[in-house]
């Protein structure tokens, strides 16, 4: 049985649906994992039946979640139930040493849940940046470079200190949680990837590897493949197959 991977979900603006982009499902299937949908409101005890957790993209966290006043967070993009669900899932998954992959909002979810903070609006807080972090090109186009730092899991799987990524975010991680390491930055200094401490696989990326993976980008495919391998190992270690 391939590993079961829980994926968090985005609530529609009208509040009537929780959904997930097909690209995540395709990238995960390509890597050999089985997707399990985690609607908002899911409680963390579901993790005892899963082997890995993917925090997906989406809107802004309420700044109260990391004890800051609003400095550019889009109120209309906040879903309190999603914030709560993801924070609980992340903290419980960390306690279980479960592999986690945070994508876009997901790297921010890892930061918020584990004690970091966010840049709430890049255009206001990093006005000097000349990098376009909210691209107008299609999601599967890589539009800016990032420097991958070593030693890191990301460098090991990328095999290169410079890769190109897509960019569809107006927020970013400001301070990583204690024990975490910044493992990739854009030329303007913005954090594009971080990894957790120790042997647990916890990786957050600010770009959308699921869109690049489906378009054939090898590094993005390897991120999913490595994550699924880690989830398989977690499953074997904790459940003896």
Catalytic residues: 104, 208, 210
Q: Is the peptide bond before 151 cis (omega within 30 degrees of 0)?
A: yes
Q: Which is nearer to Mn ion, 92 or 223 (CB)?
A: 223
Q: In this chain, which residue has its C-beta nearest to Mn ion?
A: 167
Residue 177: closest CA among 202, 160, 152: 202
Q: Distance between CA atoms of 157 and 122, rounded to whole angstroms?
A: 28
Give residues with Cβ within 8 angstroms of 33, minimum separation 6. 2, 3, 4, 5, 52, 224, 227, 228, 231
Q: Distance between CA atoms of 78 and 58, rounded to whole angstroms?
A: 9
Q: Please, what is the minimum distance in Å from the beta carbon of residue 19 to Mn ion?
A: 24
Q: Please, what is the minimum distance in Å from the beta carbon of residue 168 to Mn ion?
A: 8
Q: Which is nearer to Mn ion, 29 or 164 (CB)?
A: 164
Length of the chain: 241
Residue 107: closest CA among 38, 174, 151, 55: 55
Give how far Cα 185 sits from Cα of 39, 192, 205, 208, Å.
31, 5, 10, 15
Q: Please, what is the minimum distance in Å from the beta carbon of residue 204 to Mn ion?
A: 13
Q: Please, what is the minimum distance in Å from the beta carbon of residue 135 to Mn ion?
A: 8
The binding site for Mn ion (CB under 5 A) comprises 133, 167
Q: Which is nearer to Mn ion, 65 or 133 (CB)?
A: 133
Q: Which is nearer to Mn ion, 87 or 186 (CB)?
A: 186
Q: Distance between CA atoms of 200 and 96, rounded to whole angstroms?
A: 10
CB 165 within 8 A of CB 212: yes
Backbone angles phi, psi at 82, to 5 degrees: -70, -45
**Dihedral (C-alpha) 142, 196, 31, 55: value to the nearest 10 degrees?**
-80
Q: Which is nearer to Mn ion, 167 or 221 (CB)?
A: 167
Look-up: residue for tokens 């930061």?
A: 111
Q: Please, what is the minimum distance in Å from the beta carbon of residue 166 to Mn ion?
A: 8
């Amino acid at each position: 049985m391939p590993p079961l991977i829980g994926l968090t979900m985005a609530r529609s603006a009208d509040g009537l649906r929780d959904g997930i982009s097909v690209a995540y499902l395709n990238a995960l299937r390509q890597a050999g994992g089985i997707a399990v949908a985690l609607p908002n409101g899911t409680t963390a005890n579901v993790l005892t039946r899963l082997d890995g957790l993917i925090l997906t993209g989406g809107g802004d966290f309420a700044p109260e979640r990391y004890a800051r006043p609003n400095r550019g967070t889009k109120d209309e993009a906040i879903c309190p139930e999603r914030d709560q669900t993801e924070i609980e899932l992340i903290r419980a998954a960390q306690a279980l040493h479960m592999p986690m992959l945070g994508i876009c909002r997901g790297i921010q979810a890892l930061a918020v849940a584990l004690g970091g903070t966010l840049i709430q609006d890049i255009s206001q807080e990093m006005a000097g940046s000349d990098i376009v972090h909210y691209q107008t090109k299609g999601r599967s186009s890589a539009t800016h470079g990032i420097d991958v730092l070593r030693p890191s899991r990301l460098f090991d799987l990328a095999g290169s200190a410079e890769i190109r990524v897509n960019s569809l975010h107006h927020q970013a991680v400001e301070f990583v949680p204690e024990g975490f390491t910044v493992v990739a930055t854009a030329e303007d200094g913005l954090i594009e990837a971080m990894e957790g401490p120790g042997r647990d696989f916890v990786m957050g990326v600010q770009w959308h590897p699921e869109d690049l993976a489906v378009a054939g980008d090898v590094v993005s495919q390897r991120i999913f493949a490595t994550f699924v391998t880690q989830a398989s190992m977690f499953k074997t270690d904790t459940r003896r197959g």
